[in-house]
Structure 1
């Protein structure tokens, strides 16, 4: 960027003082992340319940369905990441949200008329893929806009927006689940996404000033594997997200079907997660950002594991809220640090490509997670608890120690990034 292209930080306006620490261009990014996550979390946590309770699909098959949608979305993310380097961040994000609106509406119609399950599955795969297509561009946009020394703060802000939306969605969804058809959840998600489209069109500015005109091929999409440090981090992340991916599908079925919570109570757990992230993400991000990367990643995984293990020994609603609080602390520590590492490793004109490839790891891991969780739920039925959460916590800690070793090696001998 030239001096005139640098993001500006405005001292005035209606935004609270906290937001004035960030470039003004980050404000629509925050708003879009809230709306995007609200629409997503309004529908996905209850999809497993819909298929399991209302369409009588076994949880193992539900897990395989989520895995298949994740695999498709992962490939779409890789392609979309390169496309954002070629066309720019803003066009990619806008077209992604427009596609999402259209298929949210189609999904609502299919569920309302009790369409065959396979049509719902195919449509949802498209919905999830279109949503995920915007993520590499959004993550790359943060790297474009934030000063290098404050990149962790930028991702902390992004995570605040995502979790605020993620908490609001299930609360609304839990209410609709009780008083209306599940189809209305997708109708509400479509309305929220339309608002996001308007914010993108009128407020989001293009951040990339050096477009990469390289032809998009399969070989180019996987060219990031030549970066051994990045490849190692990505492979460990797949293992980590297999454990962390229990947060949606497995946890919803466990709390509602096995413990006996209402869908509103389950939604309140996710709302608590969102509130804690909004309150604690920024101060804790600045604190953890001073730690070395390997130690911070291990700490985040350890806190996550303790939180999931807690679900295996408690069942009272108040104590479950505490367990959710512990999991949230793990998320607050891990998420912005991992996203920052990807930004630090990526060359300037390959940022979308790196974010897209890392999206493959995240989506693949999170999609494999419900497959593992679904199998454990079926194997430990009807009331297994520690037998469910113990193996999941073990996987998370395995990833934590691997992250620690990787971080100590990488940041002891950092690699200079360049594209040839």
Structure 2
């Protein structure tokens, strides 16, 4: 299978997501610095927490609505909202006018609209793909996302401080292109019979809650989301506990000699090196891993990849030696590129056709839960030794693997009946 064999909707979404992700990663990850410089660290933390809550609520609402009115209409509305939010952010950081609070409102708007957009977009991919295609589709998506993050992150680091207005104008222009592409090129993939749902829709919030209670009753999916939350938290520790620990306690170390010049790293430099290594290895290895491991059974790839990934990050949570850290990141990233597409393909097999957006919205809890676990690890990290934290990280990953083992038979059965 090749990229040109994908459904046109998937081709368009991957291309637009690449360029949109490249542009957004130049700005959005650095907005915490923007707000911290103007409002202080405490207020910034509170505002970012509100962002997370707003994105979670909007995701639940978006998933519910998408399963009742279809994918495209909601995607267009959400992208138009993102476009308007970026335009407001640009206007609030222009040479003629600046407002940090309007900027926050615009970033909040982006987060809310993305929460609405995400479940519909994810469900649309499932609507137009077959189970045997999804592992490759998610491999391409995963590779594309990391490549755009690598390029955009480097450009953003260079331009953010001095050219924020121009970057926001570029994001606004990208929003126009993305909205137009969805409006004119994307085809609707799910058209529920609205008349048959009038009674359900009339219940409003009660029907929304009933829909998510049905999701909670799906034991296999709840196990899958919980296991995913544990896996994701393992990597999130790099941006939280590991970064704090290395910055505070890693001594300056000689790493290599380059043309007669000694290269040394402290904790801050090591954090950047580990992030860069992870991103570059994902870009380089994702497609190669599919070619080399394509004949191996999916469950074996999932378990093996997760074992490497968890062990690598558990060691990173403990060690403060430069070369062992770099080698551990290599091992963790190898596991990541093997397990992620397989896990995403299994995720695509679980939801029933009529509830895909609702299920995908609920899956978003895995990221919010992982963020909370990694934040908790920072809080207790000052009370426990690094070795204990490493064991806790290892335990989280091992627990997730055991949960996947427990539901694997059901996952295979759902794949056999998936559409």
TM-score (norm 2): 0.76
Aligned to 2:108: 125
Say if 1:337 and 1:123 are closer, same or farther in 2 by CA, change over 3 A.
Answer: same
The answer to whether 1:341 aligns with 2:376 is no
Cα deviation code 1:56-91 (max 9, x no counterpart): 315xx6555434322221221122122222222222
Find the aligned partners of 2:170 and 2:295 in 1 and give their Cα distance. Answer: 37
Say if 1:279 and 1:302 are closer, same or farther in 2 by CA, change over 3 A.
Answer: closer
Find the aligned partners of 1:83 and 1:187 in 2 and give their Cα distance. Answer: 31
Aligned to 1:90: 72
Gaps of 5+ in 2: 202-206, 249-265
Q: Residues 246 and 366 of structure 1 are in contact (CA less than 8 Å); yes or no, is this contact kept in structure 2?
A: no
**Greater RCO, 1 or 2 (C-alpha within 8 Å, sep 6+):** 1
The answer to whether 1:397 aligns with 2:388 is no
Aligned to 2:372: 368
Find the aligned partners of 1:339 and 1:227 in 2 and give their Cα distance. Answer: 18
Shift of 1:312: 5.8
Secondary structure of 2:28's counterpart equals helix
Map 1:245-260 → 2, pairs under 5 A: 245-246=236-237, 259-260=267-268
Q: Residues 63 and 361 of structure 2 are in contact (CA less than 8 Å); yes or no, is this contact kept in structure 1?
A: yes
Say if 1:202 and 1:325 are closer, same or farther in 2 by CA, change over 3 A.
Answer: farther
Q: Residues 42 and 189 of structure 1 are in contact (CA less than 8 Å); yes or no, is this contact kept in structure 2?
A: no
Q: Which moved more, 1:38-47 or 1:127-136?
A: 38-47
How well do the aligned residues superpose, as a CA RMSD in angstroms?
A: 3.9
Aligned to 2:406: 409
Q: Which moved more, 1:306-315 or 1:278-287?
A: 306-315
Aligned to 1:355: 360
Cα deviation code 1:81-127 (max 9, x no counterpart): 222222222222222222112112323444566645x6554543332
Aligned to 1:228: 219
Match 2:336 to one of 331, 336, 342: 331
Find the aligned partners of 1:95 and 1:74 in 2 and give their Cα distance. Answer: 18
Find the aligned partners of 1:86 and 1:289 in 2 and give their Cα distance. Answer: 39
Find the aligned partners of 2:280 and 2:103 in 1 and give their Cα distance. Answer: 32
The answer to whether 1:280 aligns with 2:297 is no
Map 1:6-45 → 2, pairs under 5 A: 18-45=2-29
Find the aligned partners of 2:36 and 2:377 in 1 and give their Cα distance. Answer: 14
Find the aligned partners of 1:397 and 1:56 in 2 and give their Cα distance. Answer: 35
Aligned to 2:63: 81
Say if 1:236 and 1:311 are closer, same or farther in 2 by CA, change over 3 A.
Answer: closer
Gaps of 5+ in 1: 1-8, 10-17
The answer to whether 1:300 aligns with 2:306 is yes
Cα deviation code 1:171-208 (max 9, x no counterpart): 12101135x05455444333333332232233222222
Cα deviation code 1:146-181 (max 9, x no counterpart): 222222112222222222222222112101135x05
Count, aligned residues:
387
Find the aligned partners of 1:204 and 1:66 in 2 and give their Cα distance. Answer: 32
Q: Residues 79 and 175 of structure 2 are in contact (CA less than 8 Å); yes or no, is this contact kept in structure 1?
A: yes
Shift of 1:333: 2.8
Q: Residues 21 and 148 of structure 2 are in contact (CA less than 8 Å); yes or no, is this contact kept in structure 1?
A: yes
Secondary structure of 2:85's counterpart equals helix
Aligned to 2:204: none
Q: Residues 230 and 397 of structure 2 are in contact (CA less than 8 Å); yes or no, is this contact kept in structure 1?
A: no
Match 2:157 to one of 159, 166, 174: 174
Secondary structure of 2:26's counterpart equals helix
Aligned to 2:259: none
Q: Which moved more, 1:81-90 or 1:290-299?
A: 290-299
Q: Residues 308 and 334 of structure 2 are in contact (CA less than 8 Å); yes or no, is this contact kept in structure 1?
A: no
TM-score (norm 1): 0.76
Find the aligned partners of 1:231 and 1:403 in 2 and give their Cα distance. Answer: 12
Say if 1:254 and 1:48 are closer, same or farther in 2 by CA, change over 3 A.
Answer: farther
When Rg is computed on C-alpha atoms for both structures, the one with the higher figure is 2
Q: Which moved more, 1:129-138 or 1:214-223?
A: 214-223
Say if 1:230 and 1:205 are closer, same or farther in 2 by CA, change over 3 A.
Answer: same
Map 1:376-395 → 2, pairs under 5 A: 379=382, 387=386, 391=389, 393-395=390-392
Cα deviation code 1:285-317 (max 9, x no counterpart): 46278434376156326425514643764576x
